[in-house]
Structure 1
Amino acid sequence: MTDSLSSSRAIVKYNQHRFTETTDKIVIEFPLTIYINNEEFATMVCSPQHFEEMVIGFLASEGVIHFKKEIKEMTLDEDRGFAYVQLHTEEIKNQQYFSKRFIGSCCGKSRQFYFQNDVRTAKTSMSTTTVTAEQCIELMRKMQEASLTFKNTGGVHNAALCTADELLVSRSDIGRHNALDKLYGYSLLNGISVRDKILVFSGRISSEILTKAAKLGVGIVLSKSAPTDLAIQLAEDLNITAVGFIRGASFNIYSHPERIVLHD
């Protein structure tokens, strides 16, 4: 199976007191600039796949749109790295909070207006979904196993929308936000309700990731990594179950543990 998100590169490897020439799989980093109504809106650094999902999910996450039908037309120039979006309205929602900006793929605060605008689009979860402890562990295993790029490079974040029993869709990207935006875009493009779904994520649960999960509308977030203190506070307030350190046969539940059960 080919991997379109990585490339091969000649390297020198050191091991056991010697150097050897070999090749390695390197994750691809790609800039995509978004124009809205012919105005430059943002440049995102991402993995070059599922652009339409990412753009739609990003615009929905930032409150520019709420539904796919608000987009009149979208044109992608994948070779040059441009996405042109025409909305049915000339006025961009919450435009006073936006400015032309660069959005990097690294960890940390990549949304300069996070507290001003994200809070407007986050939703308190109404999910009544439950999942067993064994299903949590199995969903994490399935997500990691499904990512060929992660196996080849170790250089991407993985995210998946799931039911308690199966992965519905998984996405990988060098940017953790991008991976979630792709899931958001996928759900909007395909008319999938996510209220009863589970978000499985490979990275740290920061306050930004938790807020993005709230925008998606999920009630359960499963992560291989740690949460932050602010993320746990937000999870408590937004009625989201946050589970971290899913490794081997153990994990920690940090908020609303009633959704994680021992048996069906």
Structure 2
Amino acid sequence: MDKTFQIKVSKYDGKHSKVVDELAICEYPLNIFVNGRHLTVLLCTPEKLEELTVGFLIFHGIIKSYDEVKSVKIDEKMGRAEVLLNCEDIDTSNYLKQVLPHNFNEQDSTEFFSHIMNSLKIGRIQNENVHVKGEIIYDLMKKSLSYSDAFRNTGGVHCAALCDGYNIVSICEDIARHNAVDKLLGKAFMEGINLKDKILFVSSRVSFEMVFKIARFGVPIVISKSAPTYLSIKFAEALNVTLVGFVRERRMNVYTNPQRII
């Protein structure tokens, strides 16, 4: 299925206008069914749909490993992902709501993060052996952004890449930044890639939910072309995650745990 479609656009430059051909990114609805039960619909870029489905199920706590998946069948024409699990009983309640306290106030962040980490049964990331050089960060960010024709031609997708400190190991893209990360995580689980010694590069801003995603899998460094939110910075701090933002040209901001940037 095509990711982009050609359209006619009237371009204005302040003085003149002309009709030109441009590319628009496809927005594709994917309905996810688990053991015959309709779970959700995701609006996404129509590629790596199996990886997106697996990543979504893992993040929402419906499966804990790829071994629990019996089969995933994608019907692109109908926009369906049919997942069969090895177990019949599944918990389809919202995983994020399960671990977020209902009476959360940002001023009470210490208790908030302790609650989440206890709910997820995760501690602070202890891996201090993962490092990356500043010069390599600039190069890897440039490579991850140049990977995508859709990004260059439309500006309408986000990229997410896993790196080992020197090279890109895996890369995915999607119209939604969280889908791009879910595709990447799903692909890693399907291929048995160890995430605890990898670095996540993203083209989007870093939200609390994105740090929440990677926290479950022990990724020690997150690097973004854009800005992090205040809550994502505080959560990364609590988790001992190194958070880097505004990687542009030869500049960047290191918000937490700068010891991993050498």
Normalised by the length of structure 2, the TM-score is 0.88
Aligned residue for 1:69, secondary structure, equals helix
Alpha-carbon distance in 2 for matches of 1:18, 1:11: 13
The answer on whether the counterparts of 1:187 and 1:193 sit within 8 Å (CA) in structure 2 is yes
Alpha-carbon distance in 2 for matches of 1:158, 1:118: 27
Within a 5 Å distance, the mapping from 1:1-264 to structure 2 comes to 4-93=2-91, 95=92, 97-98=93-94, 115=100, 120-121=119-120, 123=122, 124-127=124-127, 128-261=129-262
What letter matches 1:142 in structure 2?
A: K
Alpha-carbon distance in 2 for matches of 1:154, 1:191: 31
Aligned residue for 1:32, secondary structure, equals strand
Shift in CA distance, 209/76, structure 1 to aligned 2, threshold 3 Å: same
What letter matches 1:237 in structure 2?
A: A
The answer on whether the counterparts of 2:60 and 2:94 sit within 8 Å (CA) in structure 1 is no
Alpha-carbon distance in 2 for matches of 1:223, 1:98: 27
Alpha-carbon distance in 2 for matches of 1:207, 1:65: 22
Aligned residue for 2:256, secondary structure, equals coil
Unpaired runs of 5+ residues, structure 1, are: 100-110
Alpha-carbon distance in 2 for matches of 1:239, 1:22: 49
Q: What's the counterpart of residue 103 of structure 1?
A: none
Shift in CA distance, 92/12, structure 1 to aligned 2, threshold 3 Å: same
What letter matches 2:151 in structure 1?
A: F
The answer on whether the counterparts of 1:204 and 1:224 sit within 8 Å (CA) in structure 2 is yes
Alpha-carbon distance in 1 for matches of 2:64, 2:177: 21
Alpha-carbon distance in 2 for matches of 1:30, 1:18: 34
Alpha-carbon distance in 1 for matches of 2:58, 2:204: 22
The answer on whether the counterparts of 1:62 and 1:118 sit within 8 Å (CA) in structure 2 is no
Q: What's the counterpart of residue 108 of structure 2?
A: none
Alpha-carbon distance in 2 for matches of 1:31, 1:162: 29
- What value does the CA root-mean-square deviation take over the aligned residues? 2.0
After TM superposition, give the deviation of residue 228 of structure 1 in Å: 0.9
Alpha-carbon distance in 2 for matches of 1:151, 1:237: 36
Alpha-carbon distance in 2 for matches of 1:144, 1:174: 14
The answer on whether the counterparts of 2:161 and 2:170 sit within 8 Å (CA) in structure 1 is yes
Per-residue deviation, residues 204-235 of structure 1 (Å, max 9, x unmatched): 11101111121332100000111111101100
What letter matches 2:200 in structure 1?
A: L
Aligned residue for 2:30, secondary structure, equals strand
The answer on whether the counterparts of 1:131 and 1:259 sit within 8 Å (CA) in structure 2 is yes
The answer on whether the counterparts of 1:157 and 1:202 sit within 8 Å (CA) in structure 2 is yes
Alpha-carbon distance in 1 for matches of 2:42, 2:257: 34
After TM superposition, give the deviation of residue 91 of structure 1 in Å: 1.1
Aligned residue for 1:192, secondary structure, equals coil
Alpha-carbon distance in 2 for matches of 1:121, 1:83: 27
The answer on whether the counterparts of 2:99 and 2:120 sit within 8 Å (CA) in structure 1 is no
Aligned residue for 1:34, secondary structure, equals strand
Alpha-carbon distance in 2 for matches of 1:32, 1:121: 28
Alpha-carbon distance in 2 for matches of 1:182, 1:122: 24
The answer on whether the counterparts of 1:54 and 1:182 sit within 8 Å (CA) in structure 2 is yes
User: Is 14-23 or 185-194 further displaced after alignment?
Assistant: 14-23
User: Is 118-127 or 160-169 further displaced after alignment?
Assistant: 118-127
Shift in CA distance, 41/114, structure 1 to aligned 2, threshold 3 Å: farther
Unpaired runs of 5+ residues, structure 2, are: 102-114
Per-residue deviation, residues 79-113 of structure 1 (Å, max 9, x unmatched): 110011111111114x4x349xxxxxxxxxxx666
Shift in CA distance, 258/181, structure 1 to aligned 2, threshold 3 Å: same
Normalised by the length of structure 1, the TM-score is 0.88
Where does structure 1 differ by over 2 angstroms across 4 or more consecutive aligned residues? 111-128
Alpha-carbon distance in 2 for matches of 1:131, 1:249: 15
